[in-house]
Amino acid sequence: MSSGEVTSSSSTFRARAYSRIANSGRVRTVLLLCCCLIAALCGVVSADEGEYVPVWGLGANGPVSSVAVTHDGSTIVASADSVVYVLDQQGNVLWKASVGGRVNSVGISPEGSRIGVAADKLYLYDGEGGLLWTEKTTFVYRSVDLSSNGMYVAAGCDNGAVYIFDRNKKQLWDYDMGTDSYDLAISENGRRIAIGCDNQGVYLLNSREGESWSYGTGKLVRGIDLTPDGRFVAAGSVDRCLYLSTGEGEHLWKYPVGDAVVSTALTNEADRIFAASGKTIHVLDRTGAEVQKIALKGRAESVAVTPEGSFLVVGGGEGDRSIRLFTNDPDLIETWNPPEAAINETEPSANVTVGVTVPPEPGNTSTGMAGVSADAREEVPITSRVYGWVENIISLLFEPQENFLA
C-alpha cells in the first residue's frame, strides 16, 4: 500500500499553495456573505423558495444507518441493522437482502445498475437484487460508493485502507490512510474520492495518484459527499460544524450546528447542502446560509439527495426508525399515491412525525404520508437566516487546520 503520511517537500509546497488559495477564497467568501447579509436586511431574500415537503415515509426494523439514491430519484437504497432495502420512487420495496453483519454504508451507481453494501464484507448487487460478488478481509468495511455504471467501487475499511475495485471485483488500487475512514464519496467518473476520517481529517484523493489535499476539523469526520463532477466537497464533523470546500482544495466556509454532523449531501454546484445533525436535517445554500430545517421526532441518521435537488431521502435513527422521501416540487405529491405499509411489519407511529419549514399547499392540509404531519413545522424566519450568515462570517475567522498532517 502507498502511505497516507504527508512528509515530502512536494506535500509542503502543496500545503503552502493551498493556504494561499484558501486565504484568497476566504476573503471572497466573506465578501459574498456580506452581500447576502445586506440583501437580507433589505428584505429581498425569500424564505420559502425551493423548500422541501414530505412525500412518504416507511417504518424500518431499526435505525436507518445509510441511504442512497439514483440521479433521477427512481431508486432508493437504505439499510437498517443487517438488512438492505431497495425501493422505488413511490416507496414500494422492490427487493431486500440480509447480509452477515451490521450494514455501515450503502451506495448505488448514478443510473442504478449496481448497488454496493459495506458490512462484514463488501457486497455488490445488480439492480434486480442479484448478488454479483463479495470481498472479505479480516477487517470491517465502513463505507462504499460507486461511479457511473458501477465501473469503480470505492470502499473504506477499518484497517485504515481505501480500495478501488472494478465492477468485476478486480482490485485496481489501494491507499493507506493511516486511520479509520468513516465515510467516502466518489465522483461520477471515478477520478476523485473524498474521505472523512477518525483522525479528524477531510481528504481528497485522485484515483491511482494519492492525496491531493487534506485539512483537519478538530474532531472525527462522519459525513462526506461530493458533487457528481467532483467540484465541491461537503464534510460533517463531530465538532458540530458543516464544511464546504472546492475539489481543488479551497475552503469556502464552515457552518456551526447544534449537534454532531453524522451525514451530509449536496446538489449540483453545491446549490443546496444538507447535514443530518441531532434530530434535524439542516439545509443550506452555497453561501452558507441556512434556508430550512427539517425536524424529526428522533435522531437524523443519514441523508442523500439527487443532483438537481428534486428528491431528498432521509434515514431516521433511534426515536424515528424510518425511510422518508421529500421533494422541493410540491406539485409532484399530487401525482402519487404514497404507501402506508411499513417494511418488516414495523408500523410507523407518532415517533416518526416530521416537522418541515414549509406549509402545505392552500386547501391541502395533508400529504397523505403515513405518520407525517405537514402541519407540524419549524419556521426559519429571515432573522434566523441573517443570524446564520453572521455566524458563518464569524466562523470563517477560525481557519481549518490547513497544516494538518495525517
Strand (E) positions, 105-170?
105-108, 114-118, 122-126, 131-135, 141-146, 152-157, 161-166
Q: Which residues pair with 84 in a beta bridge?
A: 79, 97
Q: Which residues contact 261 (CB under 8 A, 6 or more apart)?
A: 222, 223, 236, 237, 238, 240, 241, 242, 275, 276, 277
In Å, how far are 222, 303, 311, 392 from 317, measured between CA atoms? 15, 11, 20, 28
Q: Give the angle 132-135-136 at the CA atoms, nearest 5°.
A: 145
Q: Which residues contact 22 (CB under 8 A, 6 or more apart)?
A: 249, 250, 251, 399, 400, 402
Instruction: Kindly state the average pLDDT of the residues 276-302.
Output: 97
Q: Look at residue 386 in the predicted model and tell me its pLDDT.
A: 57
Q: Which residues pair with 265 in a beta bridge?
A: 274
User: Contact 165/181 with Cβ under 8 angstroms?
Assistant: no
Q: How far apart are CA 347 and CA 371, in angstroms?
A: 9
Q: Convert the pLDDT of each residue in 29-80 to its tens digit.
A: 555 555 445 444 443 333 345 799 999 999 999 999 999 999 999 999 999 9
- The residue whose grid cell reads 412525500 is 55
The SS3 call for residue 309 is coil
Tell me which residue of 192, 273, 254, 193 sits closest to 401, measured CA to CA.
254
DSSP 352: G
Q: Look at residue 214 in the predicted model and tell me its pLDDT.
A: 94
The SS3 call for residue 270 is helix
Q: How far apart are CA 82 and CA 73, in angstroms?
A: 24
DSSP 28: H
Cell of 218: 478538530
* Lowest model confidence (mean pLDDT) among 233-237, 374-378, 398-402: 374-378
Q: Look at residue 12 in the predicted model and tell me its pLDDT.
A: 33
Q: Convert the pLDDT of each residue in 136-165 to its tens digit.
A: 988 999 999 999 999 999 999 988 899 999
Q: How far apart are CA 292 and CA 178, in angstroms?
A: 37
Higher pLDDT, 126 or 379: 126
Q: Which residues contact 20 (CB under 8 A, 6 or more apart)?
A: none
Q: What is the pLDDT of the chain when averaged over all its residues?
A: 80
Tell me which residue of 47, 133, 58, 125 sits closest to 341, measured CA to CA.
58
Q: At what angle do helices 382-395 and 9-41 cross, to 10 degrees?
A: 150
Cell of 375: 402541519
Higher pLDDT, 23 or 342: 342
Task: Report phi then psi at 334, rounded to 5.
Answer: -70, -20
**pLDDT > 50? residue 248:** yes
Tell me which residue of 273, 229, 278, 223 sits closest to 252, measured CA to CA.
273
Q: Which domains does the chain have, with CATH numbers?
A: 53-387 (2.130.10.10)
Q: Which residues pair with 225 in a beta bridge?
A: 234
- The residue whose grid cell reads 476520517 is 197
